[in-house]
């Protein structure tokens, strides 16, 4: 009789444990999907204006499906006959005021690979490419996994082997496909794209002549915890292992292991780290730690006092001129 009661109790406990575990894993699955497979941003009309009528912006834009379609990308170059748009003209004027000599519009002196942030897409960075093109850099913009037109459902903030190698492979394929010269190459990433850039540069530093990281982070779990309301923060220590287990079961990089600062130690490429002083999504301290961790002997920290996470490039501070002047100094002997 006693054995029957014990057996029945154990069975009920096991069933309850399995049910609770299943519910917790479903919750973790939902949260991880939000983190690693965010809703995809829809193409906006202003995006398509540059794609469909690039001449109005002084550009040529060509499309290519890199890596067997896994990384759709855009190649953005200057249209010498059209000349720069007003954004490009402004940047060239700002650089001229700093005594920086630029080649005639249309001449290219390097290639810059642009990596967008979470919830972004390649077309989101066309306005960024427009500035760099005006300074003589052709730009390659790529849809990262889980974003834009990428057929891949999820990303890992550049942590997986595939994602670490993605920027290098895209650069190589675009050069080969379009017959581009072997010229100085720059890797530029914003927020999530910054994590990709750091991880990629740590994996193949010799492939990049300069690295620019904007509004990125040192450690993902700390960024996630900072987004929680104060009353939920004590729960995070229990939630994180659950998120890790759910990702591990799907054989994906776990949130607690996504720490670009640890890979930054292996980055020897000259590096510029840009961060907004009013970034309340990724705290300035995250950017400072990432900068401090970089193994490069040539690195620069640039704070944008009034810059938020999304507005760091859109304040009164001439950030594009700062980034471009630094790049031209680094690449002067390349």
289 belongs to a structural domain: yes
224 belongs to a structural domain: no
The C-alpha atoms of residue 97 and residue 254 are separated, in whole angstroms, by 47
Q: For residues 124 and 133, is the Cβ–Cβ distance under 8 A?
A: no
pLDDT > 60? residue 2: no
The C-alpha atoms of residue 160 and residue 176 are separated, in whole angstroms, by 25
Instruction: Write out pLDDT tens, residues 70-79.
Output: 999 999 999 9
State residue 122's pLDDT score.
97
Instruction: Write out pLDDT tens, residues 249-297.
Output: 999 999 999 999 999 999 999 999 999 999 999 999 999 999 999 999 9
Q: What is the CATH number of the domain that holds 190?
A: 3.40.50.1820
8 belongs to a structural domain: no
State residue 333's pLDDT score.
78
Share of the chain above pLDDT 90, in %: 84
Mean pLDDT over 235-262 rounds to 93
213 belongs to a structural domain: yes
Q: Please count the structural domains in the chain.
A: 1
State residue 12's pLDDT score.
67
Token digits of residue 140 = 């390659």
Query: Using 50, 70 and 90 to split pLDDT, how confident is the model at 16?
Result: low
Which residues constitute the domain of residue 293? Answer: 44-219+258-330
Instruction: Write out pLDDT tens, residues 289-324.
Output: 999 999 999 999 999 999 999 999 999 999 999 999
249 belongs to a structural domain: no
Q: How far is CA 24 from CA 48, 53, 234, in A?
A: 42, 50, 17
62 belongs to a structural domain: yes
Q: For residues 200 and 171, is the Cβ–Cβ distance under 8 A?
A: no
Cα–chain center distance at 120: 9
Reported residue count of the chain is 334
- Please work out, in degrees rounded to the nearest 5, the angle formed at the alpha carbon of residue 334 by the alpha carbons of 266 and 297: 30
Query: Using 50, 70 and 90 to split pLDDT, how confident is the model at 25?
Result: confident
**Mean pLDDT for the chain overall:** 93
Token digits of residue 286 = 């995250």
State residue 196's pLDDT score.
98
The C-alpha atoms of residue 114 and residue 192 are separated, in whole angstroms, by 12
Contacts of 274 (CB under 8 A, 6+ apart): 212, 213, 214, 215, 302, 303, 304, 312, 319, 322, 323
Instruction: Write out pLDDT tens, residues 84-141.
Output: 999 999 999 999 999 999 999 999 999 999 999 999 999 999 999 999 999 999 999 9
State residue 148's pLDDT score.
96
Mean pLDDT over 51-68 rounds to 96
Instruction: Write out pLDDT tens, residues 158-211.
Output: 999 999 999 999 999 999 999 999 999 999 999 999 999 999 999 887 899 999
110 belongs to a structural domain: yes
Query: Using 50, 70 and 90 to split pLDDT, how confident is the model at 17?
Result: low
127 belongs to a structural domain: yes
The C-alpha atoms of residue 136 and residue 131 are separated, in whole angstroms, by 9
């Amino acid at each position: 009789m006693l054995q029957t009661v014990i057996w029945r109790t154990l069975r009920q406990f096991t069933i309850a444990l399995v049910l609770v575990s299943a519910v917790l894993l479903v919750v973790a699955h939902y949260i991880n999907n939000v983190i690693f497979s965010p809703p995809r941003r829809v193409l906006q009309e202003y995006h398509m204006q540059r794609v469909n009528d690039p001449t109005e912006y002084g550009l040529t834009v060509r499309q290519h499906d890199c890596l067997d379609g896994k990384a759709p990308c855009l190649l953005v170059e200057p249209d010498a006959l059209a000349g720069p748009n007003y954004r490009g003209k402004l940047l060239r004027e700002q650089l001229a005021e700093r005594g920086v000599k630029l080649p005639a519009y249309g001449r290219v002196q390097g290639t810059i690979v642009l990596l967008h942030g979470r919830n972004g897409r390649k077309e989101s960075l066309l306005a960024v490419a427009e500035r760099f093109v005006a300074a003589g850099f052709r730009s390659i913009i790529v849809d990262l996994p889980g974003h834009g037109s990428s057929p891949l459902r999820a990303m890992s903030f550049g942590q997986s082997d595939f994602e670490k190698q993605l920027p290098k492979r895209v650069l190589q394929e675009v050069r080969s496909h379009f017959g581009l010269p072997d010229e100085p190459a720059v890797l530029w990433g914003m927020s999530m794209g910054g994590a990709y850039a750091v991880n990629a540069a740590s994996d193949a530093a010799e492939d990049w002549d300069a690295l620019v990281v904007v509004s990125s982070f040192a450690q993902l779990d700390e960024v996630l915890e900072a987004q929680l309301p104060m009353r939920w923060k004590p729960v995070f220590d229990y939630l994180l292992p659950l998120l890790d287990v759910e990702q591990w079961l799907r054989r994906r990089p776990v949130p607690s292991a996504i720490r670009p600062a640890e890979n930054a130690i292996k980055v020897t490429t000259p590096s510029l780290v840009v961060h907004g002083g009013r970034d309340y999504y990724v705290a300035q301290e995250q950017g400072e730690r990432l900068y401090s961790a970089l193994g490069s002997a040539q690195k620069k920290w640039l704070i944008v006092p009034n810059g938020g996470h999304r507005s760091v490039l859109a304040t009164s501070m001439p950030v594009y001129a700062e980034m471009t002047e630094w790049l031209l100094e680094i690449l002067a002997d390349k």
